[in-house]
């Protein structure tokens, strides 16, 4: 069966510091991968998605970037964090011709 992992689970970082969040998927190949952010416990906003290695689409202009160095690895980065980057970051995957998405456990980021 497929599983999705995210780490770290929680992170507290000062303003201006770099960021790297990692997401990996097991049990499937060539998944579609997604990064979402959830602020204030309500709706999720799609940040990036990827249909293959090195293929990244950005949905929202922001201080963040994404990379997919391996088939089942998706990384969310920032060179300099802002206070507004605080939130709950979720990674998701979908496979094949079905677009049903499955979510990881998330990373709670606090920028101080």
Partner 1 sequence: GIQVEQSPPDLILQEGANSTLRCNFSDSVNNLQWFHQNPWGQLINLFYIPSGTKQNGRLSATTVATERYSLLYISSSQTTDSGVYFCAVEEGGKLTFGQGTILTVHP
Q: Could you tell me which stretch among 12-20, 39-47, 60-68, 69-77 binds partner 1 (CB under 8 A)?
A: 39-47
Q: Which of residues 2-31 bind partner 1 (CB under 8 A)?
A: none
CB of 104 to partner 1, least distance (A): 9
Nearer to partner 1, 14 or 99 (CB): 99
Between CA 39 and CA 25 the distance in angstroms is 24
Helix (H, G, I), strand (E, B) or coil at 79: coil
Strands of the 65-70 sheet, one edge to the other = 3-7, 19-26, 73-78, 65-70
Helix (H, G, I), strand (E, B) or coil at 34: strand
String of contacts with partner 1 for each residue 81-110, x by CB under 8 A = -------x-x---x---xxxxxx-xx-x--
106 — alpha (psi -120 to 50), left (phi > 0) or beta? left
Q: Note the residues at the interface with partner 1 (CB under 8 A).
A: 32, 34, 38, 41-46, 49, 51, 59, 88, 90, 94, 98-103, 105-106, 108
């Amino acid at each position: 069966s497929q599983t999705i992992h995210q780490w770290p689970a929680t992170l507290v970082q000062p303003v201006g510091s770099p960021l790297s969040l990692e997401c990996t998927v097991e049990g499937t190949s060539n998944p579609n991968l997604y990064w979402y952010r959830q602020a204030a416990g309500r709706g999720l906003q799609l940040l990036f998605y990827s249909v293959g290695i090195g293929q990244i689409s950005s949905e929202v202009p922001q201080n963040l970037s994404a990379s997919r160095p391996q088939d089942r690895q998706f990384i969310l980065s920032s060179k300099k964090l802002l206070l507004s980057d605080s939130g709950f970051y979720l990674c998701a995957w979908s496979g094949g011709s079905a677009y049903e998405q499955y979510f990881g456990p998330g990373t709670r980021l606090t920028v101080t």
